[in-house]
């Protein structure tokens, strides 16, 4: 009992003076010699002032998570990274890995190399998070080597950057028979499968019909990944494999299936038309308006959207690239915090998960739920009406313009589309006289259409990387902005937001189409197609 009282006194001392634990190792032993308790504190857990660092847990090492880690500079955090893969993968080049144009080792970088270069205390665990407990600020994980090895990690801040899984749309047979193209391992599997198909088709006892089936390569999904892979595979077959397997080269067929009427729907129509025409010239069988309804081990069943006709395609290899879906652990987390009715995790404009105070989400696992102007229109008017006269003068309105545009980006987008230079022009259009004072109903009328410009960001590496960089900058300046907020006015409350909201800057998009030709769509509706764009693509991704 005396030893226990002594232990309690020492424990209380170290709790009240945490800096002492950086200098002492305390061990208590009972008369039997057994070890009762020990305390070894790591000095890295405390800052120079002796205060315990905030624990930040980062889930994921994709574009969003890695960008956050690269840009985090504030040493006031103790960071724990948890991910089932111990590297960052440069995913835009995965289609090139499938055919050997780029080696797999050239598109990966070990996470430990990245974090070891930082002055911030960052540790990495190769494990998978299977549960997020927001109420108790814990994440539950198991080792990727042995799921029986479970552990729990506490956090002060949680950054969820787990990406997404492949969306099969519950199509029968997809998981069992199709290959994906999201990870480096997927690209390597595809490369091995292509060679296996050619080797089996070259055996002397194989019939011609079986050769046709084995060398029928089907790509499902006409987005950038599916289109680029189909183009890379065509070049690989015509330039390399045709020479290595001359006896079976005439049996090769590549098909691209897309449920909508066109491929590359997110690109300019000129790029879509060029890509479709080029694929037809190259002999790639392009089937648009064709939805996959079932996949067996040797056949793919499709339904024509217009006619409803069902047909089958024999295949040797099928690659499924049709979109993304939310991971199960995120789905469970969404139910816990009251977002069960959503497709993906919803955050505010500062990437903070709605319904939480200390959890952030970025990348493909989340989407920003941009607040509508009309939700706050009365509060905006009241805040702008400083003299509480019930009407807004032009000057009162102009004093609030910057905060309105900063808080609601759809306002600026609406003005741009209407060829207006400022919100004053919008009031003038609504009222016919810019000098006239406006009441709340006229104010509502002037801004009634701006929310039509609210758009979700695309699930791309570009968005994820910018979000990671933005959030790291917020963490770097957390204390400073807590004391000196730099964000827009809080229209529903007093004061200002700590930070400016996240703003995505679109830098353009590329679609390699094979044959050393690439389509590029850059800001300002500038479109370039051809060999020059291919070199631009190479320069953008040069490492």
Task: Give the pLDDT confidence score for residue 48 in this predicted structure.
Answer: 64
Q: What pLDDT is stored for residue 537 in this prediction?
A: 56
Residue-wise pLDDT for 456-512, tens only, equals 899 999 999 999 999 999 999 999 999 999 999 999 999 999 999 999 998 888 888
Q: What is the pLDDT of residues 347-371, one digit of tens each?
A: 999 999 999 999 999 999 999 999 9
Q: Do domains 179-323 and 373-453 have the same CATH topology?
A: no
pLDDT of the residue at 446: 84
Q: What is the pLDDT of residue 273?
A: 95
| Rounded-to-10 torsion of CA 216, 222, 226, 229 | 70
Asked whether residue 2 carries a pLDDT value surpassing 90, the answer given is: no
Helices 423-431 + 409-417 axis angle, to 10? 60
Q: Please report, for residues 344, 356, 414, 487, 499, the alpha-carbon distance to residue 349 in angstroms, rounded to integers and kept in the order given.
A: 15, 14, 18, 11, 10
Q: Which numeric CATH code is attached to 373-453?
A: 1.10.238.10
Residue 53 CB coordination number (10 Å): 18
User: Which of the two residues, 531 and 107, has the higher pLDDT score?
Assistant: 107
Any idea how long the chain is? 543
Our CA angle for 258, 262, 265, nearest 5°, is 100
Average pLDDT over the chain reads 88
CA dist 473 and 477 (Å) reads 6
pLDDT digits (tens, 9 = 90+) for 246-257: 999 999 999 999
**How confident is residue 15, by pLDDT bands cut at 50, 70 and 90?**
very low
Averaged over 180-198, what is the pLDDT? 98
Sorting pLDDT into bands at 50, 70 and 90, what band is 433? Answer: low
- Residue ranges of the domains in the chain? 52-164+326-370+456-505, 179-323, 373-453
Average pLDDT over residues 46-67: 89
Q: What is the pLDDT of residue 324?
A: 95
CATH of domain 179-323: 3.50.50.100
Residue 25: predicted pLDDT = 35
Element (H, E) at 393: none
Cα–Cα distance for residue pair 129/139, rounded to 1 Å: 7
pLDDT of residue 412: 86
341 Cβ contact list (under 8 Å, min separation 6):
none
Residue 517 to residues 131, 175, 346, Cα–Cα distance (Å)? 45, 33, 38
Instruction: Give the residue from 515, 331, 489 showing the smallest Cα distance to 404.
Output: 489
- Rounded Cα distance, 331 and 345, in Å: 8
Q: Smallest Cα–Cα separation from 82: which of 44, 113, 122, 109?
A: 122
Flag whether pLDDT at 232 surpasses 60: yes
- The residue ranking higher by pLDDT, 279 or 11, is 279
What pLDDT is stored for residue 28 in this prediction? 33
| Of 464, 470, 467, 462, the residue nearest 509 (C-alpha) | 462
Query: Which pLDDT value is given to residue 423?
Result: 73
Query: Which pTM value belongs to this model?
Result: 0.88
Q: Which of 40-49, 122-131, 274-283, 434-443 has the lowest mean pLDDT?
A: 40-49
CATH classification code of 52-164+326-370+456-505: 3.50.50.100
């Amino acid at each position: 009992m005396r030893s226990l009282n002594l232990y309690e006194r020492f424990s209380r001392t170290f709790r009240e003076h945490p800096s002492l634990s950086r200098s002492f190792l305390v061990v208590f032993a009972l008369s039997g010699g057994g070890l009762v308790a020990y305390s070894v504190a790591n000095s890295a857990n405390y800052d120079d002032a002796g205060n315990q660092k905030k624990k930040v847990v980062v889930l994921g090492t994709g574009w969003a998570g890695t960008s956050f880690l690269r840009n985090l500079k504030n040493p006031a955090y103790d960071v724990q990274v948890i991910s089932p893969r111990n590297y960052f993968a440069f995913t835009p080049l995965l289609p090139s890995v499938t055919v050997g144009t780029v080696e797999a080792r050239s598109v990966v970088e070990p996470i430990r190399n990245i974090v070891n270069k930082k002055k911030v205390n960052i540790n990495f665990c190769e494990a998978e998070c299977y549960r997020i407990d927001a109420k108790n600020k814990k994440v539950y994980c198991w080792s990727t080597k042995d799921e029986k090895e479970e552990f729990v990690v506490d956090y002060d801040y949680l950054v969820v950057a787990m990406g997404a899984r492949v969306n099969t749309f519950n199509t029968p047979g997809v998981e069992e028979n199709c290959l994906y193209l999201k990870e480096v391992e997927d690209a390597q599997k595809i490369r091995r499968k292509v060679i296996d198909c050619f080797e089996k088709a070259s055996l002397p006892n194989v019939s011609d019909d079986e050769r046709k089936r084995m060398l029928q390569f089907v790509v499902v999904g006409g987005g950038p990944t599916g289109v680029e892979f189909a183009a890379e595979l065509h070049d690989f077959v015509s330039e390399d494999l045709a020479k290595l397997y001359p006896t079976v080269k005439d049996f090769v067929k590549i098909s691209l299936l897309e449920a909508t009427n066109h491929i590359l729907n997110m690109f300019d129509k000129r790029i879509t038309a060029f890509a479709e025409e080029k694929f037809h010239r190259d002999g790639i069988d392009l089937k648009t308006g064709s939805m996959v309804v079932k996949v067996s081990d040797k056949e793919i069943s499709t339904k024509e959207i217009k006619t409803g006709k069902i047909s089958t395609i024999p295949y040797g290899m099928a690659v499924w690239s049709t979109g993304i879906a939310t991971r199960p652990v995120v789905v469970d987390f969404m139910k816990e915090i009251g977002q069960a009715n959503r497709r993906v995790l919803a955050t505010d404009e500062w990437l903070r998960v709605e319904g939480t105070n200390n959890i952030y989400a970025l990348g493909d696992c989340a989407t920003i739920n941009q607040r509508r102007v009309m939700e706050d229109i009365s509060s905006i008017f009241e805040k702008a009406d400083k003299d509480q006269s019930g009407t807004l003068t032009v000057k009162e309105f102009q004093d609030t313009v910057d905060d309105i545009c900063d808080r609601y980006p759809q306002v600026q987008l609406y003005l741009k589309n209407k060829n207006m230079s400022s919100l004053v022009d919008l009031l003038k259009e609504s009222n016919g006289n810019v000098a006239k004072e406006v009441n709340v109903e006229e104010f509502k009328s002037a801004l009634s259409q701006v929310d039509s410009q609210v758009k979700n960001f695309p699930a791309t590496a570009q968005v994820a990387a910018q979000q990671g960089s933005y959030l790291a900058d917020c963490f770097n300046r957390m204390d400073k902005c807590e004391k000196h907020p730099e964000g827009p006015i809080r229209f529903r409350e007093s004061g200002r937001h700590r930070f400016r909201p996240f703003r995505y800057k679109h830098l353009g998009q590329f679609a390699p189409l094979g044959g050393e030709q690439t389509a590029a769509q850059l800001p300002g509706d500038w479109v370039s197609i051809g060999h020059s764009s291919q070199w631009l693509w190479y320069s953008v991704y040069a490492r």
